[in-house]
Structure 1
Amino acid sequence: MHAWPASEVPALPGQGRDLRIHDTATDGPVTLDPGPVARIYVCGITPYDATHMGHAATYNAFDLVQRVWLDTKRQVHYVQNVTDVDDPLLERATRDGVDWADLAVQETTLFREDMTALRMLPPRHYIGAVEAIPGIVPLVERLRDLGAAYDLDGDVYFSVDADPHFGQVSNLDAAAMRVLSAERGGDPDRPGKKNPLDPMLWLAAREGEPSWDGGTLGRGRPGWHIECVAIALDHLGMTFDVQGGGSDLAFPHHEMGASHAQVLTGEFPMAKAYVHAGMVGLDGEKMSKSKGNLVFVSALRRDGVDPAAIRLALHSHHYRSDWEWTDQVLQDAVDRLGRWRAAVSRPDGPSADALVDEVREALANDLDAPAALAAVDRWAARQEAEGGTDIGAPGLVSRTVDALLGVAL
């Protein structure tokens, strides 16, 4: 599966700062010090509907992570999956009377178009669950050989008790985990499971549903968590720098994935930092496909909204915060974009050297994009009020905003 084209990232004078970011597992800040190649895995979409602002906010956060690392002169090895076979996709295809594979291709294509328009840097490896199945099957077989998986009526489950570190990503108690498991794709009430929290590794073939050859597992399809584990281990290995996604993935998805990988390899941890973006709401509820309260990136683009304004709207809220999408949020972003473009269109202006340092410091401090926006706002206000004589300043501001915030002025 191919990703989307990369926009050029301008080089800035000097060098960026190492990223300090909030780690869910320790519930505190960590300073990331990757080697020459920083490694990041971000969980991708289940392509049964278009990209909404909650998706965009998550991928915006991890685009900033990449940009901070690139500014430190590192390379970035970014991997993202597409869950192109799963219950929600099959259910939507049945509802709409379309082929599930066609629906997955259609929505993945639209996602690529949205990411391109928003100038999100693409992953080096963009892998669908279906194409990962040949690598998933041996991992499930190995977990079973290790005694960490068991059969239940033809399905294969992972035993969370096999991992002594289980629970150390989300740090939730068993009662809270059980509630979230039921809400987020698990089946804690299924009779016969060794532990209600045990997640599915391999779903045996069901009539009318797609299935694949699973070797000794029989025909079926993979569970959600093992999909990402197989892709991450194949392309990044263990103890990569950042495992990312929305805050609703901390449990069960990232918790279970970490346990799968740790039992498979005998190593700990799977990732050095687990980083989670907040939820975007609309009309008082989390924006989600199941609720139907969605604002789509593609719809805004069709209405003529500049994608740069959409990115500024996303940047105006700290990535870890939960926030509400409103018409005013978008209008404020449109107005800000207009002020910035007017400021950099002049032939000269006040010095921007300090601005570069301010934006770098803001983003290195747990991706504080609102502080970065405020720094550019101050420069633009000085430009409007006083002007300046530095002929290189407008261009430097434009390159800084492009390189570090992904916004083309």
Structure 2
Amino acid sequence: MEPFKNLINRDTVAATGAHLKRAWPRFDRKRFEAQATEGLEGLEFKSRAMQMADALQATLPDDFAQACDVLQASLAPPLALDAKGEPVSHSAAVAATGVAGWAVWSMGEFVARRGVRDVPTALACLHALTQRFTAEFAIRPLIQHHPAQVLDTLGQWVSDPSPHVRRLVSEGSRPRLPWGLRLQALVADPSPTLPLLRALQDDPSSYVRRSVANHLNDIAKDHPDLVAGWVRDHLIDAPGERSALLRHASRSLIKSGHAPTLAAWGLASGLKGEATLTLSSSRAAVGADIGLSVVLRSTARKPQLLEVDYAVHHVRANGGTSPKVFKGWKLSLAPGEERVLAKRHSLRPVTTRTLYPGRHVVDLRVNGVALAEATFLLSV
């Protein structure tokens, strides 16, 4: 498999330089390409993007407004959306008609660095950039330094005709955006973004609505009761799309067994009956998988709505453990019913988690309550 970092490569730089030269004939393309590709093979993905931003900073006009005009003139047409309402992949580094995709990340970084001194010009440029590649990272320093000014503009953008721009309103202001600058003021007090989310939660684009769900999930990590209340209030007469959004926004709270959130979804009651969990083996190796078998037996007189998840308590490098909750099943258990559920759990390493050998506990959680557990020994 091609390394992810190679999405920004020498061809990306050369094509970007060509489009910038077309947009501004005085552009020093040779200097830009030399600086952007210096030691490129030894750099990881983000470092490549930041080095290209350094090269832009060294070669674009000193006048920020003029530099933004050059960037915008070099761009390809806005990314189209596919039949599912999702943007065309960013994997193409630069389009034949102009710059698009991952190369625009570097342009956004340039705007973020210089734009804190000219916010209106920076926001106008990001409005264009985000339609070719997300500007969610670039807008965050502007929010950090000029929150009132930027949030006022985002309030206008909630009705922008471009779903890319409307998504930026939500995604760019997420308190805990992965890979992005943490907006500590919004972590402490998310209330400034709530009117934006309220305006966007019924957006016609699933691309936008999913961002709103992820934004609410961010808020839930620090203000769980606020999000539980949001879900409770906005579930009333909710259309199907909003209900799905709220469910996605609730995912972390449901996994953690947050009682008000479970109550909002009609999951406040624990299982009336019995639950057992067995594993397909008492031993497993990194890179393999292990089977989970669950048996639920109802002793209730009414149907029970159940969220059945499981947590794997991964062994850490220091010998301790850290639980990770995985989604299992959502079901209605009939009165007196016995239901058997089965699942394979992958033990293949992932970039966000290193697997260490040792005794791993798996616990079964029904409506957020741990009811059964089993163990296996993981070896390398």
Band the TM-score falls in, shorter-chain normalisation: under 0.3
TM-score, length basis structure 1: 0.24
| Higher Rg of the two aligned structures | 2
Higher fraction of strand: 2
